[in-house]
Structure 1
């Protein structure tokens, strides 16, 4: 659950009119305010006077933005909702409201969560609209509180995938979707997509479960993992959530991005960093990551053979800064706040750089207990979300186009079978009509024909 701080905004009439028109056009709104301070997990509730001075007409959730000017801070005003008017002048004159007059004393008034508890209760009792607005968020965060830590991390990864994918496709996440499981009639969160609702008024900015773009993907189901397609008329991006399913067990990654414009796959493995002092650290060696990297290496062997066998490759079109499409994203293990429309902060590094870190003998990555640590302080350099999105959009990283058909086949095979695949290190020639060998581990059938089994056994003895 969360604590609620309060911000009261009573702008000039001309500014109020501008903000109200911006809301009507479904555009983002913000206001320059005096510096505010919020604790982690604290929410900011805004009371806005946008129709008449001293009359609250809207409520919203506030989000602290960048500095706007000297001693001023940009306050982003999210999910504004018009409510039945609350006349502040009338409240001031009512019995029992005298101690709360300070909350309306000015054009730009902020109070911390600790200072606002009684005021929030008073306003909820005063206005049913205010109560329902807060209650919707409380219900959603109550569902989050029911998740285990492992479940939260998976949902955070799905959330990050949606946010990053939209930005890669040059879309605005806040305009593209709303997140509220309770508004979707859900009583539990099974994934981030449980509460995801496309914004119907943005025809081009819709996250939808489109399964017609890549052959074979018509068998995708949300209960298996998330696959969605984003397009804005020029860019088409496919995103797959592979965590804890057969895709991860085969390829060693949590998320798979496919940029159709450049015909490139980018594969990302997430790891959680633990707090240590003023930073977060990821400790290694990590046996689970070693297994995942082994899967990545096996995949790279297959992809290298696929590229070598290609006869129609364009060296210029397929140029990439790195041959490997695998990346590691190390994220702080912090709170999950899905309606903030922010990506999970983290450092993103190529998997080859990670291998260089683990092989380093200079003690620059040596922790106090003798183990290896990679932190935001000692990492030589890394991509942040914005930088990573930029190189993905431009096709500077990822697989070459000739790997597309092979990875499509692998992913389709996994989806259809629901099982991990053993990737063959040697592929057949493209000239052959049969597809590249992709084998699944099969369990022995019960009730095998005994006569057939004995025949096989006799032949084996003769051969010996």
Structure 2
């Protein structure tokens, strides 16, 4: 996929200055700019960017190529873009000469600046490499950073994909956009199943461990990392801040991929003293997209642990806590295993059930439609479930989760997750004091 940006004169000067400065030091560098949102809002976030600037005669030339990533929405109707992997063309290419490769129908679909359609993108890329073959190596390097990570049935990589989804899920439950989570780098080679898979946040490299910015964040981070470091050294974490609230998210693994039983989200709203646990289970593509709970050798034990957690949370809640539509912490998400990971903020489609709903459905005759009356869960037979959007909104608005829950219970659940041979996404939201209407207003750009 291709995008085009036509630089203002001051942007072109700044780009040249930055390029010269960092070329001397041989450092990687980024360049950010803003443009009206509409031409940049559609399609995939990551693009091969053609960077054009005017020459002394006022003619527009493609002078550089780079990787563009759509960032957060800027003020009003603007969109922020960040560019990395910037390469100068040995011989600039007049933009009108490049656009001449387009067919008439493609010209009508061309965006003067912004993301291009698939057909226009392919024509522009092919035209650029035909007219400037020396740019081939740079373009392939950029496309390698833009392309999805395809790993097929590799078990370790599938666990990374689940942890990525759980990390996105934790951010959604807090009501955060967390657009940065679309930025990650795939492992250098195929992952071994006899070792713990890398954490998803570790694939973000140095961005996964931010500096501790103040004493409060340091204490929260040290507490979370202390829980995890007693169980494993394979931990990566990140801090997000939006609209006065702080979300700390940690990924932790310790079990080899071949014996992993999935991923858990342990989400704790510090302000509300509210805990939510989401346990991932995979639908089986080889079995027509169904999940057979009675064939899952460990799930009975896991359900008993969740039931004990629900009972304990109900016992300590008290009558003075906030009211919930469902005050139980334990939930199950069923979703398909992935064979690719894309650079987007899109979650894996899935079905969410409370622990009590899941157990009731196991006794439902409508789900006994497998061979020999086997119980199975699938989109074709489940009468009702929550999807990603609805579940996340209910957690964010305080309609799902415990009340009056201490951090000690959170710590205990972290230990149970590891003992159950599962990867972990641990998230803690602080400073969640605004009314829901005000949070919604700010998210929509009202301040």
| TM-score (norm. length: structure 2) | 0.62
Q: Cα distance, 1:370 vs. partner?
A: 5.2
Match of 2:266 in 1: 256
Q: Cα distance, 1:360 vs. partner?
A: 0.9
Deviations 1:133-171, CA, capped at 9 Å, x for gaps: 224446xx6xx5568531122101121122222333443
Which runs of structure 2 are paired with 1:165-204 in the superposition (5 Å)? 165-175=170-180, 178-181=183-186, 190-197=198-205, 198=207
Is 1:344–2:343 an aligned residue pair? no
Matched position secondary structure for 1:356: helix
Task: Specify which of 155, 161, 166 is matched with residue 166 of structure 2.
Answer: 161
Matched position secondary structure for 2:290: strand
Match of 1:125 in 2: 133
Task: Specify which of 225, 229, 245 is matched with residue 234 of structure 1.
Answer: 245
Matched position secondary structure for 2:356: helix
Q: Which runs of 5+ in 2 are unaligned?
A: 16-29, 71-78, 192-197, 422-447
Q: How far apart in 1 are the matches of 2:122 and 2:387?
A: 34
Measured at CA, do residues 10 and 135 of structure 1 come closer, stay the same or move farther in structure 2, by a change above 3 Å?
Answer: closer
Match of 1:425 in 2: none
Match of 2:157 in 1: 152
Residues 176 and 202, structure 1, Cα contact 8 Å, conserved in 2 = no
Deviations 1:224-249, CA, capped at 9 Å, x for gaps: 45565655543445555568589x99
Q: How far apart in 1 are the matches of 2:143 and 2:102?
A: 21
Residues 168 and 389, structure 1, Cα contact 8 Å, conserved in 2 = yes
Measured at CA, do residues 336 and 261 of structure 1 come closer, stay the same or move farther in structure 2, by a change above 3 Å?
Answer: farther
Residues 346 and 385, structure 1, Cα contact 8 Å, conserved in 2 = yes
Residues 7 and 51, structure 2, Cα contact 8 Å, conserved in 1 = no
Measured at CA, do residues 120 and 334 of structure 1 come closer, stay the same or move farther in structure 2, by a change above 3 Å?
Answer: farther
Q: How far apart in 2 are the matches of 1:31 and 1:396?
A: 34
Match of 2:444 in 1: none
Which runs of structure 2 are paired with 1:267-286 in the superposition (5 Å)? 267-275=277-285, 281-286=289-294
Over the aligned positions, Cα root-mean-square deviation in angstroms equals: 5.2
Measured at CA, do residues 33 and 258 of structure 1 come closer, stay the same or move farther in structure 2, by a change above 3 Å?
Answer: closer
Is 1:297–2:297 an aligned residue pair? no
| TM-score (norm. length: structure 1) | 0.60
Match of 2:399 in 1: 396
Q: How far apart in 1 are the matches of 2:298 and 2:212?
A: 42
Deviations 1:338-397, CA, capped at 9 Å, x for gaps: 422322222222222222222112x36625885444333443332222222222223322
Match of 2:88 in 1: 84
Q: How far apart in 2 are the matches of 1:263 and 1:28?
A: 41
Deviations 1:390-441, CA, capped at 9 Å, x for gaps: 22223322233245423424535x69xx7569xxxxxxxxxxxxxxxxxxxx
Match of 1:433 in 2: none
Q: How far apart in 2 are the matches of 1:336 and 1:292?
A: 26
Residues 331 and 345, structure 1, Cα contact 8 Å, conserved in 2 = yes
Deviations 1:31-50, CA, capped at 9 Å, x for gaps: 449998x9xxx986453547
Q: How far apart in 1 are the matches of 2:161 and 2:237?
A: 16
Residues 290 and 377, structure 2, Cα contact 8 Å, conserved in 1 = yes
The structure that has the greater radius of gyration is: 1
Residues 174 and 247, structure 2, Cα contact 8 Å, conserved in 1 = yes
Q: How far apart in 2 are the matches of 1:98 and 1:260?
A: 55
Measured at CA, do residues 315 and 229 of structure 1 come closer, stay the same or move farther in structure 2, by a change above 3 Å?
Answer: farther
Residues 48 and 58, structure 1, Cα contact 8 Å, conserved in 2 = yes
Q: Which runs of 5+ in 1 are unaligned?
A: 1-5, 64-75, 422-464
Residues 169 and 235, structure 1, Cα contact 8 Å, conserved in 2 = no
Q: How far apart in 2 are the matches of 1:124 and 1:327?
A: 55
Structure with the bigger RCO (C-alpha within 8 Å, sep 6+) is 2
Measured at CA, do residues 276 and 188 of structure 1 come closer, stay the same or move farther in structure 2, by a change above 3 Å?
Answer: closer
Match of 2:21 in 1: none
